[in-house]
Structure formats: structure tokens, C-alpha cells
Amino acid sequence: MSYRITTPVDGYSGDVVGVAFVDGQATTDDEAAVAYFRRHGYTVSGGDEDQAPATVERPARNASTDAWRAYAIAQGMTSDEAAAHTRDELVALYDGVDG
């Protein structure tokens, strides 16, 4: 599913969480990036526009690596960054952080 993203800064060109913007506009199908944009005030259109961004609760310390990666992505980490970390690294990074 493709989404059109508009930056809160008129005319911005550059990369944000791995998505390239030109003159304040970009398209992506990266759901984690879309969640980031929604949380940070970007305009998101396309896809299921009426769906609120998903919230991901902080997993238990002994939860799976996938659960911790999903949490990290929900906190703004890119998918590639999350994949580069072990579960224990993510636990240490987000220790004491509430969702």
C-alpha cells in the first residue's frame, strides 16, 4: 500500500527515516516510516487514512526479538536500524522508557 507524505516544513528536500522528500513530498510503502510520520506531524494520505497510528506497548524484558524490534520501530527507529540490534541491545536502549 503506497502513502503520500507531506512534510510539516514547506519545500523540504532530503531524507527522513530512509524516505526521500523532494519539495516537501514523498511516497512510501514502509509502514514503520508511515507510523513515524504520523507521530511527528506529517500529513499522510493514501492507504487507510482513517486508521490511527498503532501504538505498541513496551514489551516485557524477556519478550521476543521481534516484539522489541516492533517497539523500537514504533519509537521512531527505522526497520534497518532495528534489525541491526539484538534483543538485549534494544532492551538496554529502551530500559525505563514507557510507550
- The better pLDDT of the pair 17, 78 is held by 17
* 75: pLDDT strictly greater than 70: yes
Phi first, then psi, for residue 43 (nearest 5°) are -90, 125
* β-strand pairing of 19-21 with 14-16: antiparallel
| Dihedral (Cα; 41, 45, 49, 54), 10-degree rounding | -40
Return the domain boundaries, the chain.
3-46, 55-99
Q: Can you tell me the distance from the alpha carbon of 57 to that of 35, in angstroms, rounded to the nearest whole number?
A: 14
CB atoms within 10 A of CB 15: 9
Percentage of the chain beyond pLDDT 70 is 86
pLDDT over threshold 70, residue 53: no
Task: Specify the pLDDT at position 50.
Answer: 46
